[in-house]
């Protein structure tokens, strides 16, 4: 029987445990606030950012061009099977069939559903800890905006390219509804492809062009 202690179940290949990393990051943040000299604060901040990106951590705070590419690939993979299904047309017709005054109620609900599910997978479901950094207009998470925009562009582009957007001469509202059907699948694929691999290498989009 070996006297050597076995490693903790959540520590693999020497990677730091998430609980340990979180504790160290907390101490570094407190230390950064206590230090008065700017040069020391900058050094502590640099070490903290390096630790946040260390293997074994789940924190994501950068948003890079690679994240945009991953979101596009995920959106494409999830939306392609639906592009050849005529059921998309039937769902779109249902979305615009029930009107509450001038408002297509189910179309609006579907759009809200897409945004809510994407937001939940990013910030509520414990897949990764995704931090909100450099938000658009100071309060809108840019990763959320990026994923929704990329997935919508993918859905619209593929529907138009494959001739599915205007097949059967739909109304403008029905064409929009068709896009949202594909967008639902594309957004799901985009958020999973962005978050699951962890933080991407490369420079943050907000720092591009500053050098």
Cα dihedral sign, 9-120-155-199: negative
Task: Please report the pLDDT score of residue 186 as a whole number.
Answer: 97
Average of pLDDT values for 176-185? 96
Region of 101 (left: φ > 0; alpha: ψ -120 to 50; beta: rest) is left
Q: What pLDDT band is residue 127 in, cutting at 50, 70 and 90?
A: low
In the predicted structure, residue 74 carries a pLDDT above the cut 80 = yes
Tally of CB atoms within 10 A around 81: 9
User: In terms of DSSP bridges, do strands 103-104 and 99-100 run parallel, antiparallel, or are they unpaired?
Assistant: antiparallel
Q: Where do the structural domains in the chain lie, given as residue ranges?
A: 1-57, 59-206
Tokens (6 digits) for 132: 């909100």
Length of the chain: 211
In the predicted structure, residue 116 carries a pLDDT above the cut 60 = yes
Q: Report how far residue 148's alpha carbon sits from residue 119's, in angstroms, rounded to the nearest whole number.
A: 10
Residue-wise pLDDT for 155-170, tens only, equals: 999 999 999 999 999 9
């Amino acid at each position: 029987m070996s006297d050597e202690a076995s490693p903790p179940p959540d520590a693999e290949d020497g990677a730091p445990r998430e609980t340990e990393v979180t504790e160290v990051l907390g101490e570094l943040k407190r230390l950064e606030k206590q230090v008065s000299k700017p040069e020391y604060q900058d050094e502590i901040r640099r070490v903290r950012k390096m630790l946040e990106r260390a293997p074994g951590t789940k924190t994501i705070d950068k948003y890079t061009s690679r994240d945009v590419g991953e979101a596009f690939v995920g959106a494409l993979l999830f939306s392609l099977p639906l592009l050849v299904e005529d059921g998309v047309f039937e769902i779109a017709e249902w979305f615009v069939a029930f009107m509450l005054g001038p408002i297509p109620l189910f179309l609006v609900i579907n759009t809200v559903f897409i945004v809510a599910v994407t937001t939940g997978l990013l910030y509520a479901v414990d897949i990764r800890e995704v931090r909100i950094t450099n938000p658009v207009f100071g309060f809108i998470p840019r990763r959320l905006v990026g994923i929704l925009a990329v997935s919508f562009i993918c859905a619209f582009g593929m529907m138009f390219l494959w001739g599915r957007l205007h097949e059967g001469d739909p109304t403008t509202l029905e064409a929009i509804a068709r896009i949202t059907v594909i967008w639902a699948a594309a957004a799901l694929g985009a958020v999973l492809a962005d978050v699951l691999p962890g933080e991407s290498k490369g420079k943050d989009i907000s720092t591009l062009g500053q050098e």
